[in-house]
């Protein structure tokens, strides 16, 4: 997160707790992946908390690498797959299913690209101005196309979905990304993931509401 290890741990624990409660709100198997999103966001924030604690000390380089790669694997490999897949599993409209399958295919391609980058390029997390900067030497020519694709596959599915209030989640995700890009450009990966983790708590409300609709 963008302030301190305490903030990362506190945010991670709170979001993980909400995540457990959200999973308990599942009343159809198709909702399970969607319900798990806050829990995974919480784990991601806890991993970054350990990174905060160990970065100042070179003797903890092993823990630094594990924490950094847990965070980045979830940020760059998991979310481009999990978000479109979770929405697709819940979708009943056939036309929208086709759109979501295209977005999932794009997400899979992006995840494979980031997996390649994480395997063959350097990752160097640093604490700068009360933020964590994930400094990488990924191909510069592909950074903007990859980022645009990332936005498309992680936000658009929430607007395509016919599930009630997923568009609200999509709007909040987009606005948080916009704010982060404008004010925390250099630390986009860390800061936006924290905002997204907090926003993911809305999923609890979405599933709670959907259960009332399902029962009625």
Distance between CA atoms of 35 and 27, rounded to whole angstroms? Answer: 10
Residue-wise pLDDT tens digits, 59-94: 999 999 999 999 999 999 999 999 999 999 999 999
Taking the chain, what is the end-to-end CA distance rounded to the nearest angstrom? Answer: 40
The predicted model gives 178-188 an average pLDDT of 84
Which two tokens mark 73?
């694997």
Residue-wise pLDDT tens digits, 85-118: 999 999 999 999 999 999 999 999 999 999 999 9
Q: With a cut of 50, say whether residue 187 has pLDDT above it.
A: yes
Domains held by the chain: number:
1
- In the predicted model, what is the mean pLDDT of the chain? 90
Of the chain, the percentage scoring pLDDT greater than 70 comes to 95
Residue-wise pLDDT tens digits, 4-20: 788 889 888 999 999 99
Q: With a cut of 60, say whether residue 216 has pLDDT above it.
A: no
Note down the domain range covering 99: 5-215
Q: What is the pLDDT of residue 129?
A: 79
Distance between CA atoms of 62 and 164, rounded to whole angstroms? Answer: 44
The predicted model gives 176-203 an average pLDDT of 85
The predicted model gives 26-39 an average pLDDT of 93
Distance between CA atoms of 169 and 159, rounded to whole angstroms? Answer: 9
Confidence band for 210, pLDDT divided at 50, 70 and 90: low
Query: Do residues 55 and 210 touch, judged by C-beta distance below 8 A?
Result: no
Question: Against a cut of 0.75, is the pTM above it?
Answer: yes
């Amino acid at each position: 997160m963008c302030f301190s290890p305490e903030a990362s741990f506190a945010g991670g624990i709170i979001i993980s707790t909400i995540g457990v409660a959200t999973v308990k709100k599942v009343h159809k198997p198709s909702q399970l992946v969607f319900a798990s999103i806050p829990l995974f966001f919480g784990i991601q924030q806890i991993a970054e908390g350990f990174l905060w604690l160990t970065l100042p000390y070179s003797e903890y380089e092993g823990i630094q690498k594990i924490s950094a790669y847990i965070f980045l694997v979830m940020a760059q490999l998991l979310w481009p797959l999990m978000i479109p897949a979770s929405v697709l599993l819940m979708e009943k409209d056939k036309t929208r299913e086709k759109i979501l399958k295209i977005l999932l295919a794009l997400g899979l391609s992006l995840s494979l690209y980031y997996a390649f980058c994480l395997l063959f390029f350097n990752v160097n997390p640093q604490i700068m101005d009360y933020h964590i900067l994930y400094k990488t030497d990924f191909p510069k020519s592909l950074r903007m196309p990859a980022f645009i694709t990332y936005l498309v596959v992680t936000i658009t599915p929430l607007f395509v979905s016919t599930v009630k209030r997923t568009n609200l989640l999509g709007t909040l995700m987009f606005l948080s990304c916009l704010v982060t890009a404008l004010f925390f450009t250099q630390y986009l990966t860390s800061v936006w993931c924290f905002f997204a983790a907090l926003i993911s708590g809305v999923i609890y409300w979405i599933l709670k509401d959907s259960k009332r609709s399902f029962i009625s």
